[in-house]
């Protein structure tokens, strides 16, 4: 039987069902299971001064300007409709409010509804590739946290970690991956290659 759908409503339903499966959050409900998993993992730790630095509140003088400079213009905004240009233009007046809202969200560990929203858009290509458009507030909060955490990353990341490293291009990552892959005798530990793709 032909599983193709042709009507606009049927196509919407297929996309909706597929994206609900892929984007539904699956949390570990058992704190015991999570603690059991983490107790077996050897994670690097920070010295007391670094911990105190991380516990400090986000700074208007350091994190906020760095994030505003990194916001790329001419990008499609999320469901709030506010593009990066809005934040560039009104950066001075928005910095205090963003610090207050983001600081409260971090302290209470409660995210407002708009921080949990994403607009999923299908790119009209043969495979209908979906992309998530996040609100600019979420990108700013993420950028502030990255700027806050960045000074400590050298201590926290494993030396063999390849992805998501500042100033590392895909070329650097592939070259290093090839070096690790073709020289297993240099490694005392077992390693795993994990490729991440949300779609």
Query: 117-154 pLDDT, tens per residue?
Result: 888 887 877 777 778 888 888 888 888 888 888 888 87
Assign 77 a pLDDT band (cuts: 50, 70, 90): confident
Residues 112 and 185 in one domain: no
10 or 168: whose pLDDT is higher?
Answer: 10
Establish if 55 belongs to a structural domain: yes
Which pLDDT value is given to residue 105? Answer: 78
Establish if 197 belongs to a structural domain: yes
The secondary structure of residue 164, as a DSSP letter, is: S
Establish if 23 belongs to a structural domain: no
184 or 50: whose pLDDT is higher?
Answer: 50
Assign 160 a pLDDT band (cuts: 50, 70, 90): low
Residues 127 and 177 in one domain: no
Residues 196 and 146 in one domain: no
The secondary structure of residue 72, as a DSSP letter, is: P
Give the number of other Cβ atoms within 10 Å of residue 25's Cβ: 5
Residues 51 and 128 in one domain: yes
Q: What is the pLDDT of residues 95-113, one digit of tens each?
A: 888 888 887 877 777 767 7
Establish if 105 belongs to a structural domain: yes
Residue at token pair 């100033």: 167
Indicate the range of 71-80, 139-148, 150-159 predicted with least confidence.
150-159
Q: What is the pLDDT of residues 16-54, one digit of tens each?
A: 888 777 666 666 667 788 788 878 888 788 889 988 888
Which pLDDT value is given to residue 199? Answer: 41
Mean pLDDT, rounded, of the chain:
78
- Contact status, residue 66 vs residue 74, Cβ threshold 8 Å: no
Residues 181 and 139 in one domain: no
> Does the predicted TM-score (pTM) go above 0.75?
no
Residues 65 and 87 in one domain: yes
Instruction: Strands of 76-191 (E only): list them.
Output: 118-122, 130-134
User: What are the two backbone dihedrals, phi and then psi, of residue 121, each rounded to the nearest 5 degrees?
Assistant: -120, 140
Residue at token pair 């992309």: 131
Residues 65 and 80 in one domain: yes
- Contact status, residue 129 vs residue 199, Cβ threshold 8 Å: yes
For the segment 47-76, the average pLDDT, to the nearest whole number, is 81
> Exposed (0-12), middle (13-18) or buried (19+): which is 31, by Cβ within 10 Å?
exposed
As for how many domains the chain has, the answer is: 2
> Which DSSP helix (H) or strand (E) runs through 9?
helix 8-23
Does 115 have pLDDT greater than 60?
yes
Query: What contacts 66, CB < 8 A, 6 or more positions away?
Result: 143, 147
Residues 123 and 172 in one domain: no
Residue 185 structural domain: 158-199
């Amino acid at each position: 039987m032909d599983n193709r759908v042709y009507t606009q409503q049927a196509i919407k339903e297929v996309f909706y069902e597929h994206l609900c499966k892929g984007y539904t959050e699956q949390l570990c409900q058992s704190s015991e299971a999570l603690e059991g998993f983490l107790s077996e993992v050897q994670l690097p730790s920070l010295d007391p001064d670094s911990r105190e630095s991380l516990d400090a509140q986000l700074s208007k003088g350091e994190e906020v300007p760095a994030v505003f400079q990194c916001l790329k213009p001419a990008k499609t905004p999320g469901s709030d409709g506010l593009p990066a240009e809005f934040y560039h233009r009104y950066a001075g007046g928005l910095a205090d409010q963003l610090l207050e809202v983001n600081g409260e969200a971090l302290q209470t560990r409660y995210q407002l509804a708009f921080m949990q929203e994403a607009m999923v858009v299908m790119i009209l290509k043969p495979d209908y590739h979906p992309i998530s458009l996040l609100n600019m507030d979420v990108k700013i909060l993420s950028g502030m946290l990255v700027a806050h955490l960045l000074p400590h990353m050298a201590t926290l990341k494993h030396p063999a970690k390849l992805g998501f490293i500042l100033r590392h291009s895909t070329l650097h990552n592939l070259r290093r991956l090839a070096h690790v892959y073709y020289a297993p005798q240099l490694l005392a530990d077992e390693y795993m290659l994990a490729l991440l793709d949300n779609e």
